Amino acid sequence: MSAHTLAQLWQRGAEFLGCKHAIMGGAMSWVSERNLVAALSNAGAFGVIAASSMPPHLLDNEIKETKKRTQKPFGVNLIIMHPQLDELVAVCAENNVTHVVLAGGIPKRATINAIKAYGGKVIGFAPTASIGKKLVRDGVDALVIEGTEAGGHIGPVSTSVLAQEILPHISEVPVFVAGGIGRGEAIVGYLQMGASGVQLGTRFVCADESIAHDNFKQIFIKSNARDATASVQYHPDFAVIPVRAIQNKATEDFTRFQKETVEKVFSGALEKGAAQLEIEHFWAGALRKAVIDGDVERGSVMAGQSVGMVQRTQPMQEIIDELTSQAAQYLLKN
pLDDT in tens, 145-198: 999 999 998 989 999 999 999 999 999 999 999 999 999 999 999 999 999 999
Paired strand residues for 124: 102, 143
Q: Where are the chain's structural domains? A: 2-211+310-333, 214-305
Cβ neighbours of residue 166 under 8 Å, at least 6 residues apart?
A: 126, 128, 129, 132, 143, 145, 175
pLDDT bracket for residue 285 (50, 70, 90): confident
Range in 15-29, 60-74, 263-277 with the lowest mean pLDDT: 263-277
pTM: 0.94
Quote the CA–CA distance of 211 and 149 in Å, as a whole number: 24
Which of the pair, 239 or 321, is modelled with greater confidence? 321
Tell me, what's the pLDDT at 275?
82
Q: Which of 142, 114, 261, 256 is nearest to 199 (CA)?
A: 142
Query: Across-strand partners of 245?
Result: 229, 302
d(CA 188, CA 240): 33
* Helical (H) or strand (E) element with 146: strand 142-146
At 273, the pLDDT band (50, 70, 90 cuts) reads confident
Average pLDDT score over residue span 256-271: 89
Name the band, by pLDDT with cuts 50, 70 and 90, for residue 274.
confident
Rounded (to 5) percent helix, strand, coil in the chain: 50, 15, 35
**Does residue 285 contact residue 230 with C-beta atoms inside 8 Å?**
no
Cα distances (Å, whole numbers) of residue 124 to 27, 45, 101, 294:
13, 19, 6, 32
Q: What pLDDT score does 238 carry?
A: 65
Angle 302-143-64 from CA coordinates, rounded to 5° = 65
Q: Phi/psi zone of residue 300: left (φ > 0), alpha (ψ -120 to 50 degrees), beta?
A: beta
Summarised one tens digit per residue, pLDDT across range 49-91 is 999 989 999 999 999 999 999 999 999 999 998 999 999 999 9
- pLDDT at position 142 is 98
Measured at the CA of 37, the angle between CA 35 and CA 42, to 5 degrees, comes to: 95
Rounded-to-integer distance, Cα 277 and Cα 288, Å: 16
pLDDT of residue 84: 97
pLDDT at 246 exceeding the cut of 90: yes
| CATH architecture, domain defined by 2-211+310-333 | Alpha-Beta Barrel (3.20)
Partners of residue 46 on adjacent β-strands: 24
| pLDDT tens-place string over residues 184-242 | 999 999 999 999 999 999 999 999 999 999 999 999 999 999 999 998 777 766 666 78
User: Which CA distances in Å does 47 have to 21, 106, 219?
Assistant: 11, 23, 23
Asked if the model's pLDDT at residue 1 lies above 80, the reply is no
Question: Mean pLDDT across the chain, nearest whole number?
Answer: 94
Write down how long the chain is.
334
299-321 burial: b if 16+ Cβ within 10 Å, else e: bbbbbbbbbbbbeebbebbebbe
pLDDT at 225: 97
Say if strands 121-125 and 23-25 run parallel, antiparallel, or are unpaired: unpaired
pLDDT of residue 239: 64
